[in-house]
Amino acid sequence: MSPLAISMLLASQGSVALAQYRKAPAKPAQSGVYPEYRSRFGTIRWVRDQMPLKVYISPGLTLDSMTDPNLGVPIANTDNLPAWPNLVANVLSNPEQFQALKRADGYVDGHYQAALEGVLSWKQFEREGLFSYEITQDPGDADIYVFFTNHFVGKSGMALFAQDIRGYTSKTNFPYKAILAGGQADFKPAVIVLRTTDGQGQPMSLGKLKAAATHEFGHALGIEGHSTNPVDLMSAYYGRGVISPNDAATIRHLYRLTPDLIP
């Protein structure tokens, strides 16, 4: 079987570990480049030929109406992360289905601007030539999509209300060497889903949603895991809600490496 035939549907699980265990770190918090940026399959990042990346932030749209006929729960459940890119690709290929998407309960007008500001937080690194991206209003012309949900559920339909999980990111990744050698990849969109409500069921504060969007876009760019330093945005605690010096050092390091996989 060719490398691309076993191309690994890798889902970058966003904030999956967030707040389940708020214990003090067992070892001193690290500083500088944190090794958790690397997935167990190697480094993952976008390459120059894919840029500028196009990012579509939906006006509060949710994927929750797309349900699994066997389970009766949203296909975009947290136990089914690898399927999210294909789900979005299928929805985009059917204009009527896309037009039928509804706004997530709990979504307020300020959430769009908060998500936009979060995504644009990484723009500062464009000046260094690391990557480039732009916002598009055309849902048919994007590489990365941002959707929303009132709350996340697992495959059992159990709501994850008790956990401070504000977002997930899912990407399909392909071996870069195989593509350079002429292999063909069926690229799919990267998908970010942000939660619109807090643990009390109230609309997520704009500051928290912005931090979540910044964090998830860091995953979309290729920081796969979570920093163990709680002051970092890319920790499971969102740090201070802004990109930290360690986050900056890590994204610079990542984009100076030749990737093993590309989204």
Contact 195, 108 (CB under 8 A): no
pLDDT at position 238? 93
pLDDT at position 162? 56
The structure tokens listed for 175 are: 């071996």
The structure tokens listed for 223 are: 């920081």
pLDDT band (50, 70, 90) for residue 28 = low
Domains of the chain, first to last: 3-18+42-262 (3.40.390.10)
- In this model, does residue 24 exceed pLDDT 60? no
**What is d(CA 35, CA 142) in angstroms, rounded to the nearest whole number?**
29
Q: Which residue has the tokens 């504000």?
A: 166
- In this model, does residue 25 exceed pLDDT 50? no
* Mean predicted confidence (pLDDT) in 142-153: 97
Bridge partners of residue 67, in order along the sequence: 74
Comparing CA positions, the residue from 247, 209, 255, 256 lying closest to residue 228 is 247
Q: What is the pTM of this model?
A: 0.90
